[in-house]
């Protein structure tokens, strides 16, 4: 798929995105980012989510005991952003559909509909989609989880049929190659990254680190990980590293962050900072402050890459161990960036061992000391992702292609 910027003409009249939260923040985080991105492109976005309370953690404007009355079906404009997103609680939205709520009736059915992560669309909505099945301006996407695995390329951009109704859904896979949909890249992001490189002098960074109570010249980690990861080993390794180099640790809120804080607070060699839960644009800013990101899930994993950070990916663990295959596939994707096998193996050994719970102190310290090499690789990878283009522009381009095919 073409990575070149696309004129948004013709443009769909709106995007209706459905999300069911399985756990944690990833489902809400990805769909919220998707909705924000559509909105920023001038395509009105509506997010229907079954856990507005989870979304409210990312969008403090929703965090009100009155949110069901004040936000249902109303646009939300997050502080500091120009674009609005309309948020509905899933159940209320379904009721509104069933009762032919005038609010919904008055609205047109948006031309883009997203079933995300196999969440299954409401029956009443599918019935509406069946009515417009012959109209090429309406396109329903089945947007899947991100994976670097090779099979994704064959399953991407493939139509699936509905078991009962005459509707088709287009399977769309985010990914890391030109034969997938790419990842969400906001327009200002690249400018911010480049700008930050230009304007963020070491002195400015030192000032921010000092303001956070951190060592101005410390090797700075940002850690957002799962309680299942080997936090004892991480504590020991960070402590050992801090005896050789000044080390800062910024901890994301949550169970793992609290545990690490308890373990690390007695260390007199490293500086520790518990971070608050910040909004998505600020999350990028926090990542940019770090030298090494230990991140998790899908969205924070992508953000660390887009911000050019060397990372240890605490991939979301699954019982069938499929996460090890996914991790392997991502590590494989970066192989071409390394000049020789030895350096590549030295790099991949540590992220692999981290997830498997077999990371040793010496390997961790060696890896951290090779940081300039990993930062160069991370920057090259960041540029490759930028060059491949934005998932949302690719989604719009696919819709535009459907318009051309229909003529
Ligand atoms: O929270 P996650 O672990 O979420 C998920 C879910 O568990 C999901 O079911 C699973 O399939 C998926 O991982 C792989 O991690 P993730 O994806 O990184 O989501 C976190 C979101 O929270 C992301 O959008 C960034 C955001 N965030 C902030 O905006 N501010 C913050 O301060 C923090 C810590 C996170």
Each residue of 228-276: pLDDT tens digit?
999 999 999 999 999 999 999 999 999 999 999 999 998 889 999 999 9
Helix axes of 341-356 and 322-333: crossing angle, nearest 10 degrees? 160
Distance from the alpha carbon of residue 28 to the mean position of ligand 1, in angstroms:
8
Q: Which tokens hold the place of 178?
A: 């030109």
Q: Which of 22, 23, 25, 49 to mutate to test the pocket of ligand 1 (most atoms within 8 A of CB)?
A: 25
What's the mean pLDDT in 86-99? 84
What residues form DSSP beta bridges with 223?
251, 294
How many Å lie between the centroid of ligand 1 and the Cα of residue 137? 32
- Nearest CA owner, ligand 1 atom 8: 26
Does the Cβ of 104 fall within 6 Å of ligand 1? no
| 102 pLDDT higher than 60 | no
Q: Which of 298, 303, 311 to mutate to test the pocket of ligand 1 (most atoms within 8 A of CB)?
A: 298
Ligand 1 contact, 92 CB (< 6 A): no
| Residue recorded with tokens 């078991």 | 163
State the distance from the centre of ligand 1 to the C-alpha of 299, rounded, in angstroms. Answer: 6
Pairwise CA distance, residues 31 & 47, whole Å: 7
Place of tokens 């090499």: 373
How far apart CA 336 and CA 339 sit, in angstroms, is 8
Instruction: Name which of 48-62, 111-125, 225-239, 300-314 the model is least confident about.
Output: 48-62
pLDDT at 82 over 60: no
Atom nearest to 302 CA in ligand 1:
18
Residue 346, pLDDT > 80, answer yes
For residue 268, how far is its CA from the centre of ligand 1 (angstroms)?
Answer: 31
Minimum-distance ligand 1 atom for the alpha carbon of 276: 32
Starting at the edge strand found earlier in the chain, the sheet holding 112-116 runs 75-76, 85-89, 45-49, 15-19, 112-116, 139-143, 168-172, 158-161
Q: Among positive and negative, which fits the CA dihedral 361, 366, 370, 374?
A: negative
| Per-residue pLDDT tens over the stretch 268-318 | 899 999 999 998 989 999 999 999 999 999 999 999 999 999 999 999 888
Tell whether ligand 1 has an atom less than 6 A from the beta carbon of residue 25: yes
Q: Could you give the count of Cα atoms lying within 13 Å of 167 in the half-sphere of its Cβ? A: 21
Query: Which residue among 19, 22, 26, 144 has the greatest number of ligand 1 atoms within 8 angstroms of its CB, and so is best to mutate?
Result: 26
Residue 63 has pLDDT above 80, yes or no: no
pLDDT of residue 79: 55
How many Å lie between the centroid of ligand 1 and the Cα of residue 374?
24
Q: Is the bond preceding residue 10 a cis peptide, omega within 30 degrees?
A: yes
Place of tokens 């088709």: 168
Would the pLDDT of 68 be above 90? no
List of E strands, 84-235: 85-89, 112-116, 139-143, 158-161, 168-172, 219-223
The residue assigned the tokens 């819709």 is 399
Q: Going by CA atoms, what residue is nearest to atom 18 of ligand 1?
A: 300
Instruction: Retrieve residue 297's tokens.
Output: 């899930």
252 lines ligand 1 (CB under 6 A): yes
* Tens digits of residue pLDDT in 160-216: 999 999 999 999 999 999 999 999 999 878 777 766 666 677 888 899 999 999 999
- With a cut of 60, say whether residue 106 has pLDDT above it: no
Ligand 1 atom at minimal distance to the Cα of residue 286: 32
**pLDDT at 59 exceeding the cut of 70:** yes
CA torsion, points 153, 388, 386, 56, in degrees to nearest 10?
Answer: -50
Place of tokens 């404009």: 77
Could you tell me how many helices (H) and strands (E) the chain has, helices first?
Answer: 18, 13
**Region of 117 on the Ramachandran plot (φ > 0 left; ψ -120 to 50 alpha; else beta):** left
């Amino acid at each position: 798929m073409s990575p070149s910027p696309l004129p948004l003409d013709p443009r769909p009249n709106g995007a209706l995105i459905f999300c069911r939260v399985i756990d944690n923040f990833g489902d809400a985080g990805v769909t919220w980012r998707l909705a924000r991105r559509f909105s920023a492109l001038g395509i009105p976005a509506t997010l229907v989510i079954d856990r507005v309370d989870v979304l409210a953690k990312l969008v403090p404007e929703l965090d009100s005991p009155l949110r069901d009355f004040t936000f249902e079906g109303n646009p939300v404009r997050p502080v500091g952003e120009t674009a609005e997103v309309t948020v509905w609680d899933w159940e209320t939205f379904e009721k509104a559909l069933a009762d032919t709520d005038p609010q919904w009736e008055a609205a047109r059915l948006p031309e883009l509909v997203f079933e995300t992560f196999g969440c299954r669309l409401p029956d009443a909505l599918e019935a509406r989609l069946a009515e417009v099945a012959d109209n090429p301006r309406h396109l329903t996407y089945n947007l899947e989880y991100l994976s670097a695995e090779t099979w994704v390329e064959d399953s991407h951009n493939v139509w699936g049929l509905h078991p009962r109704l005459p509707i088709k859904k287009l399977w769309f896979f985010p990914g890391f190659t030109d034969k997938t949909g790419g990842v969400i890249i906001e327009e200002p992001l690249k400018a911010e990254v480049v700008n930050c490189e230009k304007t963020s002098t070491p002195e400015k960074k030192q000032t921010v680190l000092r303001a956070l109570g951190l060592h101005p010249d410390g090797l700075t980690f940002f850690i957002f990980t799962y309680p299942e990861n080997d936090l004892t080993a991480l504590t020991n390794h960070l402590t050992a590293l801090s005896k050789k180099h000044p080390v800062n640790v910024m901890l994301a809120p949550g169970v793992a962050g609290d545990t690490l804080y308890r373990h690390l607070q007695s260390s007199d060699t490293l500086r520790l900072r518990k971070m608050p839960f910040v909004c998505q644009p600020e999350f990028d800013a926090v990542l940019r402050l770090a030298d090494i990101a230990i991140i998790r899930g899908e969205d924070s994993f992508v953000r660390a890459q887009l911000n050019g950070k060397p990372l240890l990916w605490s991939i979301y663990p699954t019982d069938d161990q499929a996460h090890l295959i996914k991790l392997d596939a991502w590590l494989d994707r970066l192989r071409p960036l390394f000049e020789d096998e030895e350096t590549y193996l030295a790099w991949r050994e540590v992220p692999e061992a981290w997830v498997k719970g077999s990371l040793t102190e010496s390997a961790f310290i060696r890896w951290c000391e090779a940081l300039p090499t990993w930062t160069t690789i991370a920057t090259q990878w960041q540029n490759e992702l930028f060059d491949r283009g934005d998932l949302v522009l690719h989604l719009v381009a696919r819709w535009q292609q459907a318009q051309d095919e229909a003529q």
